[in-house]
Amino acid sequence: MKKKALAAAILAATTLSAAPAFAAQNPFKDIPKDHWAYDAVSMLAKDGVIDGYGDGQFSGDKLMNRYEMAQIVAKAAEKYGSVQPKDKGAINKLKKEFSAELKDMDFRLTNVESDVQDLKKNQSSFKWYGDARFRYMNNKNGMYFKERRAPGGLSDGSEYEKSAHKIDKRIRLGLWGEPAKNVSVQGRLKVEDSTDNHDGWNNGNVEDNNNGKFGYDQLEFTWHAKNGYEVAAGRMQKRFGQGLVYWENPIDGISLKKWFGDKGNVQFGWGDMSAENWGAGSAHDKWCPSFFADGKLNLSKATSLTATYFKTNSDGYGTVTSVDAYGWLHSWGKTQKYYLNQMAFGFESQLAPKWHINAEYVRNNVAGSGRVNKDGFWTRLSYGKQDWSKANTWKIYAEYAALGNYAVDSTGWAHHLNFAGGNGYGSDNGGARGWGAGLTYMLAKNTNLDLAYYKMRPYDTSFGTYRDQGYAAFVFSF
């Protein structure tokens, strides 16, 4: 059918409104203003009754089959309840004319919906995901520049520390699903090792406790209760605040979280911090019972405040270090009390479409002697709009940090920083103070190149500066 069907469509459009037809802007290219159907077709398109053929053309001179016309009638019938009584008669005539096609359309749609439901019932809710990382790190733990002195005060003219660097490799494979209503489960396997691992003393390759380590760093069950409550148990992956206290590390335990819509959330929990298996001989090697409380308050869509409390107290095996009067560093293993009692307050804001800022203050109330060793501050200002789903998107950032020796835990690298930040040489040395800059660039979808460089010095010590710190990382995710 040709013009007869088009005339019926125009009749349907003109009966949908009591307002007189008038010249509206024509959205279709192939109908001139002097065309006899111009006003009616324009109004039909404006009301959303007909959309043309998707290329900006109405193509009114094309042959229109009865199913295409039935679609137009079906759209007109959707407005049946809102038109005047006299208009309903015209719509009923159109529905009667195309009743067979309309019935067939309903039958086909019902079958499609049924097929979709069957597919959903037979399809597993579990989804795989993962990532791989290859990273080169230079002076990860912060080696000093210092002249070495032999006993008696004579200098051999060499530097106190040689170059320290290593190459890290890591692959993680995760699984997420909803086995039952309001219940989700998430698990992840991880394998990692390092090569070319130089400790900074003799520039030789040393053993790494993470070499060939394989295991799981997450097996978390979450019950999504009513009124915004969530209860999680198992090996949970946790991140707190802006990342100075704990960032994407596992804890074996249980937590309770409450969401307050878009206003924010608060969570409390308890668990074993040693779940990460940080490495043999570390302070985290034994059971580390920990309590945490963390909250976020959204002041607006762009700005939020965070607060974190984290406490752990355990008998662990740690390395004690000191520097003698001649400048030699001594270290030995010793069973000692390992503890943290940290408070952190953070701030985050999207200043503009491409400008973003993070800042966080942290204090460890049970750190070593002196206030300078248990307080810390970190901030990052970034520019750009990185999108992991889009190639050639990027972000650059600048950072400033002032972290006392015991402000953050760097023995297991629990924090979000790209450098150690604390746990340096001696009870009153170490820490970090200085600037850094980085670039993160998407080489392709889900494929990232990350570069960073830091110029740091100890937080409060007579040593002048660390060697340059930095890394280059290649990351792929799916």
Residue 142 lies in a domain: yes
Residues 121-147, mean pLDDT to the nearest whole number? 80
Tell which wins on pLDDT, 130 or 66.
Answer: 130
Confirm if 256 and 244 have CB atoms less than 8 A apart: no
pLDDT at 268: 97
Confirm if 414 and 446 have CB atoms less than 8 A apart: no
Residues 138 and 29 in one domain: no
CA 291/CA 289 separation, integer angstroms: 7
| CA 108 to chain CA centroid, nearest Å | 41
Is pLDDT above 60 for 217? Answer: yes
Residue from 406, 400, 363, 366 nearest 381 by CA: 400
pLDDT at 236: 96
CATH number for 284: 2.40.160
pLDDT at 399: 97
Tell which wins on pLDDT, 21 or 391.
Answer: 391
DSSP string computed for 428-461? S---EEEEEEEEEEEEETTEEEEEEEEEEE-SSS
Confirm if 281 and 209 have CB atoms less than 8 A apart: yes
Q: How far is CA 307 from CA 82, 243, 252, 289, 408, in A?
A: 53, 11, 22, 21, 15
CA angle in degrees (0–180, nearest 5) for 378-380-383? 175
Mean pLDDT of the chain: 76
73-82, 255-264, 387-396, 422-431, range with the lowest pLDDT: 422-431
Residues 293-319, mean pLDDT to the nearest whole number? 85
Confirm if 451 and 472 have CB atoms less than 8 A apart: yes
pLDDT at 426: 42
Residues 90 and 142 in one domain: no
Q: How confident is the model at residue 423 (pLDDT cuts 50, 70, 90)?
A: low
Is pLDDT above 80 for 111? Answer: no
Q: Which domain holds residue 440?
A: 129-159+238-246+259-477
Residue 253 lies in a domain: no
Is pLDDT above 60 for 444? Answer: yes
Tell which wins on pLDDT, 405 or 14.
Answer: 405
- Give the burial class of 151: count Cβ atoms within 10 A of its Cβ; 0-12 exposed, 13-18 middle, 19 or more buried: exposed
Residue 63 lies in a domain: yes
Q: What is the dihedral of CA 402, 408, 414, 417, to 10 degrees?
A: 0
Q: How confident is the model at residue 405 (pLDDT cuts 50, 70, 90)?
A: confident
Residues 153 and 21 in one domain: no
For residue 360, report the phi and psi dihedrals to the nearest 5 degrees: -155, 140
Residues 15 and 154 in one domain: no
174-188, 193-207, 450-464, range with the lowest pLDDT: 193-207
CA 180/CA 125 separation, integer angstroms: 9
Residues 54 and 145 in one domain: no
Query: What is the per-residue burial (b if ≥16 Cβ within 10 Å, else e) of 159-195?
Result: ebbeebbbebebebbbbbeeeeeeebbbbbbbebebe
Q: How many CA atoms lie within 13 A of 308 on its CB side?
A: 25
Residues 305-312, mean pLDDT to the nearest whole number? 95
Residues 269 and 335 in one domain: yes
Residues 25 and 154 in one domain: no
pLDDT at 128: 92
* CA-only gyration radius of the chain, Å: 33
Residues 6 or more apart in contact with residue 46 via CB below 8 angstroms: 24, 27
Residue 175 lies in a domain: no
Q: How confident is the model at residue 336 (pLDDT cuts 50, 70, 90)?
A: low
Residues 113-141, mean pLDDT to the nearest whole number? 80
Residues 214-234, mean pLDDT to the nearest whole number? 93
Q: How confident is the model at residue 422 (pLDDT cuts 50, 70, 90)?
A: confident
Is pLDDT above 60 for 7? Answer: no
CB atoms near residue 206 (< 10 Å): 13
Residue 212 lies in a domain: no
List residues bridging with 57 in a β-sheet. none
Residue 225 lies in a domain: no
Residue 16 lies in a domain: yes
Residues 198-220, mean pLDDT to the nearest whole number? 71
pLDDT at 139: 84
Residues 96 and 135 in one domain: no
CA 364/CA 311 separation, integer angstroms: 9
Identify the sign of the CA torsion 108, 112, 118, 122: positive
Is pLDDT above 80 for 455? Answer: yes
Residue 187 lies in a domain: no
Tell which wins on pLDDT, 324 or 139.
Answer: 139
Residues 340 and 441 in one domain: yes
Q: How confident is the model at residue 438 (pLDDT cuts 50, 70, 90)?
A: very high
Residues 403 and 465 in one domain: yes
Residue from 221, 229, 251 nearest 238 by CA: 251
Residues 333 and 465 in one domain: yes
CA 192/CA 215 separation, integer angstroms: 9
pTM of the model: 0.69
pLDDT at 66: 58
HEC profile of 36-101: CCHHHHHHHHHCCCCCCCCCCCCCCCCCCCHHHHHHHHHHHHCCHHHCCHHHHHHHHHHHHHCHHH
pLDDT at 475: 96
Residues 12 and 142 in one domain: no
Confirm if 316 and 288 have CB atoms less than 8 A apart: yes
Number of domains in the chain: 2
List residues bridging with 169 in a β-sheet. 134, 193
